[in-house]
Amino acid sequence: MKEAPGDRKEPFVGVGLRPVHYPHLLGRPRLAVKWFETISENSMDSEGRPLEVVLKMREEYPIALHGVSMSIGGVEGPRPGYLARLKTLADRVQPFLMTDHLCFTGAHASNVHDLLPLPYTEEAIATVARNVGKAQDVLKRQIALENVSSYLTYRESVMPEWEFLVAVARRAGCRILLDVNNAYVSAMNHGFAPETYLDAVPAELVAQIHLGGYTDTGKFLFDTHSRAPTDPVWELYRRVIGRMPETPVLIEWDEDIPEWAGLEAQAVTAAKIAEEERGRQPA
């Protein structure tokens, strides 16, 4: 198994591992990407093809496990058995990072399979912190939580999203998966400056950066992961990566997924920007 380098002298850019690219990747081509991210739930309860491919790719690449169903912000916490199964998967894959979303995904046994935003309140911070504690105890490792795109805000929120995100990470003792696209989408939807958001997140808390594409519906920005990052998102990424040049970066693409070359080209762009920003750092 190849481990993620501790001292990253080059940009560490990866992409999401998706079935449409399995045939190409299993041919063991030379790749510009340095690592892969895989959706945890696709392999947690299955001995099928996705797990087989993850384990095969893991022989040559570092892999991060990215969950969508931990429901870390749910008052009921992760569902019984979820963390134990995730731990079993982690023991097999040996990921360099485990992440999920700062949200909840259901309530009272009903699962809506969506990343529902939380109100930015003290109770929500305490709830997430309690659940993160349980998760990290079972998983025996620190996790990172991703800021989600949102299409509504709660009137009961008492702080802006970025304060909530940082407070959760500090209180819970976890790290942040900073999705630059999500920050942009939420900023445009809710009318704040994305720069304010991103500048407020301390570099030492960020374990990974996500980049993806949204759809402009005309009424709101929708986080569809169906296209390449847009120019404003690339510009924000440049601003972020300049502050944290060694942070792993991931290109996410889940709908209308292009051929491998198209996806890899986005990773190359992300690496190039990271390299340029490294060049600007004082020696």
Please identify which residue in 108, 231, 279, 282 interacts with another protein, judged by CB under 8 A. 108
Report the site for another protein in 124-153 (rule: CB under 8 A).
Answer: 124, 127, 150-153
Tell me how far, at minimum, the Cβ of 30 lies from another protein, in Å: 26
Nearer to another protein, 81 or 262 (CB): 81
DSSP symbol at 19: G
Tell me how far, at minimum, the Cβ of 192 lies from another protein, in Å: 11
Q: How far apart are CA 8 and CA 117, in angstroms?
A: 33
Overall size of the chain counted in residues: 283
Q: Does 121 bind another protein (CB under 8 A)?
A: yes
Strand 63-66, strand 97-101: pairing: parallel
Q: How far apart are CA 25 and CA 30, in angstroms?
A: 9
Please identify which residue in 88, 154, 199, 256 interacts with another protein, judged by CB under 8 A. 154
Q: Does 45 bind another protein (CB under 8 A)?
A: yes
Tell me how far, at minimum, the Cβ of 155 lies from another protein, in Å: 5
> Do residues 256 and 248 lie in contact, with contact meaning Cβ atoms separated by under 8 Å?
no
Instruction: List the end-to-end C-alpha distance of the chain, in Å, as a whole number.
Output: 33
Tell me how far, at minimum, the Cβ of 150 lies from another protein, in Å: 7
Please identify which residue in 48, 173, 202, 262 interacts with another protein, judged by CB under 8 A. 48
- With CB under 8 A, what is the number of residues at the site for another protein? 50
Q: Does 204 bind another protein (CB under 8 A)?
A: no
In the structure encoding, which two tokens stand for residue 163, read together?
């304060």
Type of residue found at 184? Y
Rounding to the nearest 10 degrees, give the CA dihedral for residues 111, 16, 211, 257. -90
Q: Does 47 bind another protein (CB under 8 A)?
A: yes
CA-based nearest residue to 118, from 217, 186, 215, 202: 186
Nearer to another protein, 186 or 208 (CB): 186
Tell me how far, at minimum, the Cβ of 275 lies from another protein, in Å: 35
Tell me how far, at minimum, the Cβ of 98 lies from another protein, in Å: 16
The label of the residue with tokens 């969508």 reads 68
Report the site for another protein in 221-280 (rule: CB under 8 A).
Answer: 221-222
Please identify which residue in 46, 88, 94, 196 interacts with another protein, judged by CB under 8 A. 46
H/E segment holding residue 16: strand 13-16
Report the site for another protein in 176-195 (rule: CB under 8 A).
Answer: 186, 188-190
Tell me how far, at minimum, the Cβ of 187 lies from another protein, in Å: 10
CA-based nearest residue to 245, from 210, 213, 209, 193: 209
> Do residues 181 and 209 lie in contact, with contact meaning Cβ atoms separated by under 8 Å?
no
CA 246 to chain centre: 16
Backbone phi, psi, residue 105, to 5°? -120, 5
Site string for another protein, 71-90 (x = CB under 8 A): x--xx---x--x--------
The footprint of another protein (CB under 8 A) covers 41, 44-49, 51-52, 69, 71, 74-75, 79, 82, 104-114, 116, 118-119, 121, 123-124, 127, 150-156, 186, 188-190, 217-222
